[in-house]
Structure 1
Amino acid sequence: MTLNTNDVERNSKENTLTYNGLIIFDKTTKETKAVNLKNSPVPDITILAQENPNLQYHLMKSEVELLGIVPIFNNDEEFTDYIVENKSVINANVTLYLDHEVINIVQITNGGISQIVSSGGSEDSDYPCTYDGIRTCVDEGIHDQNWYQMVLCISEGFGCVVEWYINCTIDNC
């Protein structure tokens, strides 16, 4: 799919590919599980935490927002194909949220990273086996990818982002 001059500018909601998920961290076993919420409503994590105090629940959301004039996409696959075919000229924002807070934004201009905004992290290579430690590990791991790897990861689905959580849990717990 290539861009042509007949395409019109679209609002950001129509230009955005979004995945929602739930990260479940077991405080006893230090295991992390993930649930893709693509076809499900986002749960109230406060209620979930009251039902099982041994678990921490965290909402994960990832978005790829294409900027400027782009074609109309009929499905997520067309959106992803467009990114692959136009990776050298793409303008986009890639944003990761954890519990409704932005943890990482990558701004892409003409196929290159123009700015990275991160919630911060540690200079250490080891992270504590706590949810905050795992979150920092994930944040830094995602930050260290090039933008194209990050967009593909997010566009592949929630499972790819969660893979970072699982890897960081295995490496640090």
Structure 2
Amino acid sequence: MQDRQINIQYFKSDYGELILGAYQGKLCLCDWRYRKMRRAIDKRITELLDASYLLQNDAVIVQTIDQLKQYFCGQRQEFDLPLLFAGTEFQQRVWQQLIKVRYGITSSYLELSAQLGNVKAIRAVATANGANAISIIVPCHRIIGSDGKLVGYAGGLDVKKKLLQLEACTAGTDIMTQSMELF
């Protein structure tokens, strides 16, 4: 039954505590431990993978922690980790598109919908964005409202704001020109 477990660890950062999970050598979970949808996310992952959580270290988790530490120090702009998306086909398409939103840049749900080929799918895209279980690495924090305002984030809007500020400072971008409402 070794293959039927999702190894998990908790990682505390200055931005909040994350739960990290690896399944069969791939990262399937990097999410805010105390988010409102925690139970629903955990249920979806364990059911889709037909596996249960086990508090145990894992090489992928160690690699993830190292890369997250670099990111939080402003020393990493891209992640190089094997990922496993536990979601519907549509959710997986949205999450793959999220990875393309570059460090220090924001995008909107409308823009994301257009990139996926259906501007009318804005609500479905927003819902899939909210169901993302691989926060930061799949950068859902870079998605803002079409009006430029900060909207929903599993780690909370304060954390979203701090992550965007971190990226703006280290990328040399001026997010202020993108949205006056961010800060």
Instruction: Calculate the TM-score normalised by the size of structure 1.
Output: 0.29
If each structure's strand is expressed as a fraction of its own residues, which one has the higher value?
1
Higher-Rg structure is: 1
If each structure's helix is expressed as a fraction of its own residues, which one has the higher value?
2
Instruction: Calculate the TM-score normalised by the size of structure 2.
Output: 0.28
